[in-house]
Amino acid sequence: MTRRRTAILISGGGSNMVALARDMVDPDHPARPCLVLSNRPDAGGLARAEEMGIATAVVDHRNFKGDRPAFEAEVTRALEAAETDLVCLAGFMRILTAEFIDRWAGRMLNIHPSILPLFPGLHTHARALEAGMAIHGCTVHEVISDLDAGPILGQAVIPVRQDDTPDALAARLLPMEHRLYPAVFRRFAIGDRTPVSLTS
C-alpha cells in the first residue's frame, strides 16, 4: 500500500495535528505525515511535531506584508518539496485564496468548531451560547473557496450545559475534535467520503 503523504498546517499549539499524526502511526493507516507547516515561527505545534519525528517548515506571513499570493506561493513550494498528496488544516488561521484552494481541490480538509452550517467564521463557542443552543459541536469539511462551506465529511456533537462559558465549551469540545478529525481523515485518505457522526 502506498501511503498518502500528508501535510498538516497549523498556527498554534497543534493539538488536532497531534491527534492526526498519532493516528497515522498505525502502519495500516492509508496516510503518513510528511510535513507540519506553520505561518508562525513560535507555534507550539512545531516542537511537538519535531518530537514526533515529523519534518517542519515555517512560512511567516508577516514577511509578506499583505501579499497573500506570494505567501501562498512559498507555502506551495514547501508542500511540493515534501511531495505532499493531501493537506489537513488544523488551526491554520489564514484565509486562503481561491487559487491556492483550487491547487489542492479535493485533497484538503479543515476542522471547524461548530455544527456547520451554523456559526461559520470565528468566536463559535460564544455565538452558540448567545444563540441559546442546546447542542454544540465540530465539523470536518473539504475546503472550498467559500469560507467553512465545503462538503461536510463528519460532525461531532456535545450537549451545552447551563453553566457553560465559551472557554468551558471549547475545552469540552476539544476531545471530540481529536476523535472526529482522525476518523474522517482515515476514510478520506482512501477516497471514502461517507460522513462520520459522533456524539458524546
Which of 29, 61, 112, 125 is the catalytic position?
112
3-class state of residue 142 by DSSP: strand
Which residues are within 8 A (CB) of 160 and not within 5 positions of it... i.e. 6 or more apart? 128, 129, 133, 134, 135, 136, 169
Q: Are 112 and 141 in contact (CB under 8 A)?
A: yes
3-class state of residue 179 by DSSP: helix
Distance between CA 137 and CA 40 in Å, rounded? 27
* Annotation marks residue 123 as catalytic: no
Distance between CA 46 and CA 51 in Å, rounded? 9
Cβ atoms within 10 Å, residue 106: 14
Q: 189: exposed, middle or buried (C-beta count within 10 Å: 0-12, 13-18, 19+)? A: buried
Active site residues: 112
